[in-house]
Chains A and B, each alone.
Chain A
């Protein structure tokens, strides 16, 4: 009872705070949907109210009908998938025709009952054109929607649930239902509708909305959904139960239904998880009043499969840690609930984000400190900040959510576990005992893959226009994370946190763009970092600086014939021999040539640092703007140079070759020999294994 009271108090409190902070929702949905498990169909009635918050007079409305992506092979999604040269594609999905998915608008009327059926037309807004695609529908409205006005559509729809594909669908009478209802695109003042087709490599974009959704399912089904469950009505005659979920200021609504879920709830109680010192630290860091960094309770709802029941605590812990750290860093999570779903088996919906609902991913047997499930939960929950609340256009600038989320997830994982432990499995069993030594930091992982696609595409590329799926994933996830870790090193950790916090608070419940992010970086850091984004987000050039050569030798008097007041003086090598100078007078000349091997260059106030270390333990530091192809630095010192190193603090994690960043006058082979020995041993074993068949 006490818990219920607390819950009600914070629901009201948070609801109020959202209402005060957020701009008005653009869309209102009232949806009544029934799941028919015998035919894998959804039957829905939707009342969609769209408010024109722009100063434009709008004469049409564009709707996403995402599930038509799985209707036939003429859809942009399936045709792009088939064209992706057989690499992890969905060709063959329609071999069993009942696996198809589609959505059909049976009736669309205005509030006065006028039908809009004749005014509907599928459109293909993106290039290359896919005329058979039916994922975007334009409806010409009989009357213009005036600035400040609104239009209300009454939509009667039915949708065939696809067999699990692209994180939606059914498998063995378990359902994960996402991107399922007619949803308008985003109207951009002066530009018109932004409503892209459902592409093979793309996610979504929608306006903030107020959802009121009733979901009717068989009585033995457990349901999890976005928002707060405010009502449950049982219909014994029909053998169904209807759940009502409500939530404002979110831009999507997903739900799941299945017979095998275990449902657990827990209150995220910040008082027991966050100390006053932590609050004080972040209040000081962000220069905010103490109360504004305090977090509020959140009702955590976990839907987990029975075979993972022993991981309930692990799921809750990962969720709590994510809510804690992301809340402290980027501002409190403002919604009253967070639902974490261990998605039904083979619905292919694991590791996906929806507002106030995320899907985790796990295995029957998991390793301690592994990325699964903790990293997945941290990643998907971080999306509630980067996509959920700062709701960028995922079609056009996917890095803004996926990249910042990967960076944020990495920060949470570092806070939770330090370096990530590599988990190796044999079937279901972790066999990490002999790989226990392999731990790596997030930026090391990101760097290992990101370097390979730098020259393929810029990070800022519309999702469907990446060269291939690898370029898409590695650019928007790993390369972006690597770039952000580099930015963090250039700006400092605290400044980077301030940047992200400011970006989040400035664009919460709005649609930020890359330019908005750059603006915040410049504003918060007080530096002009446009070059960084031009080079590493809009650019596709490798960054690689290194030491080209290092020569260090004792200075000896020059030989030859020299003019002097008394005439010509001859200094020969023989005449110098045997001349000894005290050590204190011995001088050494060192010449270091630093090279720019790549095309990318630093800009603004950033300089390439060169450190030269000498045998007497002294060091010299020089800076170079890095514009030319190479630069020579000369030193005259009391000791011979031992090594030279560019970027000794490894600020530029995205440097394509860190090995050439340093040059030591003498070679050292111990490390090489160690790994050569290992490699030789692996090779010897490989040979003996291969020859088992001899």
Chain B
């Protein structure tokens, strides 16, 4: 099966698995809502009776932003740890969700339900968490070590520069290297997870090796599929941003419209995530079994 065909099939199949998308989106929405509620209550308390609220309907007004920043100046340092803790908690939740989604996609004959979703998540969570720990250093290498390496290799070139361009070119190369390395690590991690789902008996390390071996044989096609999905995501994102850019939410009705648009975009993000897994799983099945 060609990469394009897999992409097309996964498009339709992931739409059919909309309950998975809805559960992930709900998880994200509820978590984000809970995280921002204290701030919302604070802002409502401080601004609810003020005429300043009217300026919040303008495109941008710096007065109230400055007021808010000034009000929060003393508590900002206190917010860091709760924020980091919340992010870590969501990360763990997302590992569970990934396990649940991939487990559900693998059991394609079963009907998606909340109980099957959580059952799959619970069954696979341990191995997915181990895979997360295994891949964490690789992500750090991709995001921190490799850019630092590019910096050190190019420092002489940048030092000798007579204008800004060498520095800017190095910045773009660094960003490119970071993105490429990240996508590769991300792709390997995805196939390791798929391998773990496909074979209940193998542990995290064997799943990693299986995924790695698979990619060794099919790297460029797998990468092409990965980028096809990334490009699809970028197209959806640009379409959203262009649409949102057209609307100035200065009335209650338009605020609701923009909110709905934002949530549709979030649904699309999770749909594409499911499609990502669906496509890669199909690609794995099509090439691994043969």
Verify A434–B245 contact, CB threshold 8 A. yes
With A307-B163, A437-B59, A672-B56 known as contacts, the answer to whether A658 contacts B90 (CB < 8 A) is no
With A451-B70, A657-B70, A674-B255 known as contacts, the answer to whether A680 contacts B59 (CB < 8 A) is no
Indicate if A144 sits at the interface (CB-CB under 8 A): no
Verify A439–B70 contact, CB threshold 8 A. no
Within 8 Å by CB of B98, from A172, A664, A672, A694, lies: A694
With A364-B163, A447-B62 known as contacts, the answer to whether A690 contacts B87 (CB < 8 A) is yes
**Nearest Cβ distance between residue A348 and chain B, in whole angstroms?**
13
**Nearest Cβ distance between residue A647 and chain B, in whole angstroms?**
12
Interface residues as binary, B194-211 with A (CB distance below 8 Å gives 1, 0 otherwise):
000000000000000000
Q: How far is the CA of A231 from the CA of B175 in the complex (A)?
A: 50
For B50, the closest partner residue in chain A by CB is A659
Verify A690–B168 contact, CB threshold 8 A. no
Sorting the interface of chain A by its residue count into under 10, 10 to 19, 20 to 34 or 35 or more gives 35 or more
With A448-B69, A671-B53, A672-B48 known as contacts, the answer to whether A427 contacts B168 (CB < 8 A) is yes
Q: How far is the CA of A472 from the CA of B36 in the complex (A)?
A: 35
Verify B171–A658 contact, CB threshold 8 A. no
Q: How far is the CA of A665 from the CA of B50 in the complex (A)?
A: 9
Interface residues as binary, B43-62 with A (CB distance below 8 Å gives 1, 0 otherwise):
11011111111111101111
Chain A residues with Cβ under 8 A from B47's Cβ? 659, 671-672
Chain B residues with Cβ under 8 A from A260's Cβ? 162-163
**Nearest Cβ distance between residue A297 and chain B, in whole angstroms?**
33
Q: How far is the CA of A260 from the CA of B164 in the complex (A)?
A: 13
**Nearest Cβ distance between residue A693 and chain B, in whole angstroms?**
5
Verify B36–A676 contact, CB threshold 8 A. yes
Indicate if A191 sits at the interface (CB-CB under 8 A): no
Verify B57–A444 contact, CB threshold 8 A. no
Verify A439–B60 contact, CB threshold 8 A. yes
Within 8 Å by CB of B161, from A345, A434, A436, A658, lies: A345
Verify B36–A447 contact, CB threshold 8 A. no
Verify A684–B28 contact, CB threshold 8 A. yes
Interface residues as binary, A662-685 with B (CB distance below 8 Å gives 1, 0 otherwise):
111101111111111111110111
Verify A670–B50 contact, CB threshold 8 A. no
With A451-B70, A664-B49, A674-B249 known as contacts, the answer to whether A307 contacts B32 (CB < 8 A) is no
For B262, the closest partner residue in chain A by CB is A681
**Nearest Cβ distance between residue A373 and chain B, in whole angstroms?**
13
**Nearest Cβ distance between residue B38 and chain A, in whole angstroms?**
12
Indicate if A263 sits at the interface (CB-CB under 8 A): no
Identify the interface centre among B160, B262, B273: most chain A CB within 10 Å of its CB: B262
Q: How far is the CA of A673 from the CA of B56 in the complex (A)?
A: 9
Indicate if B251 sits at the interface (CB-CB under 8 A): yes
Stretch of B3-11, B113-121, B132-140 that contacts chain A: B132-140
- Footprint of B on A, CB under 8 Å? 172, 174, 260, 305-307, 345-346, 363-364, 427-428, 433-434, 436-441, 444-445, 447-448, 451-452, 643, 645, 656-665, 667-681, 683-685, 687-688, 690-694
Could you list 9 examples of A-B contacts with CB < 8 Å?
A: A364-B165, A447-B62, A658-B52, A670-B252, A677-B262, A688-B270, A688-B273, A690-B91, A691-B94
By Cβ-Cβ distance, the 9 closest A-B pairs, closest first, are: A671-B56, A444-B62, A691-B94, A662-B51, A437-B59, A448-B66, A667-B48, A694-B94, A681-B262
